[in-house]
Amino acid sequence: MKYTIEQIYAYAKRYGFVYQGSEIYGGLANTWDYGPLGVSLKNNIKNFWWKSFVSQNKMNVGLDSSILLNPKTWEATGHASGFKDPLMDCKSCKTRHRADSLISRASNNTVDADGWDYTKMYEYIIENKIKCPNCGGFDYTTIREFNLMFKTSQGVTTESNNEIYLRPETAQGIFLNFKNVLRTSRKKVPFGIGQIGKSFRNEITPGNFVFRTREFEQMELEFFCVPGTEIEWFEYWKKFANDFLVNIGLKPENIKFYDHPQEKLSFYSNATTDVLYNFPWGFDELWGIASRTDYDLKRHQEYSGENLEYLDPNTNESYIPYVIEPSLGVERLFLAVLLDALEEEELENQETRTLLKINKHLAPYQINILPLVKKYHNEEALKIYDLLSSSFVAFYDDAGNIGRRYRRADAIGTPYCITIDDETLSNATVTVRERDSMEQVRISVSLLKDYLRNLFE
């Protein structure tokens, strides 16, 4: 079953994955709060990425750089002058649109206006009578530049010379610390620096639930390599990304790669690939992988005056390394994981169960502890909860009949339910129920922790 974005939001809100931000005040558009299950799932996704790309990868190390950076950073990268979208307002319904997106949508993605000047975009929209997708009107303002960076002030006044920006990407904090990390980690090229952190973009047209938001988290790697080897490493990280997505639980048929043609590459890139996922509206970008050449380090060297060259101990040559950047949004992967794992399953008794068939290492709760009858089994169940909660993320549930509790656990993706019943009291065994197959086995309490540990390993 392919869910609509409205259905997946209803599910996420019902079970405590995602809530509308500032809901009691009527909400704030395109802001989302992650509930008890949502924050656990996000953290598990980030931990899965961190293990794969950093802590269990001998080539890479980690970093946590600041959100606020010296404003010269964004002059060096071009964000201060060029990180802008072409903005148009519909005069009829007051909605805002990106001019290039209007053109792309109206032409069914056959016309790519990226790189056009604003006059050419505006003339194309007028000549082709492209109507407002919200109200059907055809009365637009002219195109204006819209800077995507959030601006704030540092210090006690709001003078222009105190203006700084919330970072629109995590990458630049890595580049600014290239020499620091190189020196303190004693790494040699090739090596990578990974980071997970918040970024902010003042998007004109955010939407599709958590797919495009103004406040988001990135899981980003900057991999530094010898010039001339970058395409080999680019292909390496493309395969690594695909394997990661399959390992985390996405279906291979819902993943595909789009290699940007040479004439459409960013000026600093010599290879770029979008990893696309089959969202409810079709395949769209989940992950971007780019060979950024030596652009970033060169620009920061130029603007800072700091020598960012690397002295290769193997060749005794100095050079600025080339960079491969796999950049993945936490929220987009969060959404893809829910979409890929959520099922409505028909059972043999003609009932239907909601099943989140999620990778067990991502599940918000690893186990549910269930006393069969609270009055009789509660005390022993609490003892087993105490036994297991130091080793596993456990949830204790004694509300409702056992069948409904199993269904709740299935719906939020809990891999194993442990039921305490009369046999537990008489012979110290419990029932362990597996989520996907619903098969049950009796296990001695004395062996339970090792049994579960083996299942998760």
Calculate mean pLDDT across residues 303-310.
96
Q: What is the pLDDT of residue 158?
A: 60
pTM of the model as a whole = 0.89
Model confidence at 165: pLDDT above 70: yes
Model confidence at 85: pLDDT above 80: no
Residue 75 within a domain: no
Calculate mean pLDDT across residues 367-373.
97
Amino acid identity, residue 16?
Answer: G
The CATH number assigned to the domain holding 374 equals 3.40.50.800
Q: How far apart are CA 128 and CA 334, in angstroms?
A: 38
Residue 163 shares a structural domain with residue 286 = yes
Model confidence at 288: pLDDT above 90: yes
Residue 242 shares a structural domain with residue 215 = yes
Boundary of a domain, candidates 321, 338, 355: 338
Calculate mean pLDDT across residues 236-254.
97
Residue 225 shares a structural domain with residue 320 = yes
Residue 181 shares a structural domain with residue 88 = no
Model confidence at 156: pLDDT above 80: no
The CATH number assigned to the domain holding 272 equals 3.30.930.10
Model confidence at 1: pLDDT above 80: no
Residue 108 within a domain: yes
Residue 410 within a domain: yes
Boundary of a domain, candidates 117, 147, 177: 147
Residue 202 shares a structural domain with residue 134 = no
- Bigger pLDDT: 264 vs 28: 28
- Bigger pLDDT: 254 vs 90: 254
Residue 89 shares a structural domain with residue 59 = no
Q: What is the pLDDT of residue 159?
A: 63
Find out whether 228 and 257 touch, Cβ atoms under 8 Å.
no
Give Cα separations from 328 to 33, 49, 80, 288, 363 (angstroms).
20, 10, 23, 7, 20
Those residues with Cβ within 8 angstroms of residue 265's Cβ, 6 or more apart along the chain or in another chain:
271, 272
Amino acid identity, residue 256?
Answer: K
Residue 203 shares a structural domain with residue 305 = yes
Q: How far apart are CA 113 and CA 377, in angstroms?
A: 66
Model confidence at 145: pLDDT above 80: no
Calculate mean pLDDT across residues 336-355.
92
Calculate mean pLDDT across residues 114-125.
85
Model confidence at 148: pLDDT above 90: no
Amino acid identity, residue 65?
Answer: S
The total number of structural domains that make up the chain = 3
Calculate mean pLDDT across residues 298-312.
96
Residue 220 shares a structural domain with residue 295 = yes
* Residue where the block lists tokens 């290039």: 100
CA torsion sign for 126, 131, 134, 139 is: positive
Residue 291 within a domain: yes
Residue 231 shares a structural domain with residue 167 = yes
Calculate mean pLDDT across residues 376-393.
96
Residue 332 within a domain: yes
Cα dihedral: 161, 166, 170, 175 (round 10): 0
Residue 287 within a domain: yes
Mean pLDDT of the chain: 93
Model confidence at 301: pLDDT above 90: yes
Residue 436 shares a structural domain with residue 322 = no
Q: Which domain holds residue 185?
A: 5-69+158-338
Residue 345 within a domain: no
Residue 185 shares a structural domain with residue 265 = yes
Q: How far apart are CA 200 and CA 167, in angstroms?
A: 6
Model confidence at 29: pLDDT above 90: no
Q: What is the pLDDT of residue 181?
A: 97
Residue 120 within a domain: yes
Calculate mean pLDDT across residues 17-22.
96
Residue 299 shares a structural domain with residue 203 = yes
Find out whether 44 and 330 touch, Cβ atoms under 8 Å.
no
Q: What is the pLDDT of residue 161?
A: 65
Calculate mean pLDDT across residues 226-252.
97
Q: What is the pLDDT of residue 315?
A: 93
Q: How far apart are CA 140 and CA 73, in angstroms?
A: 35
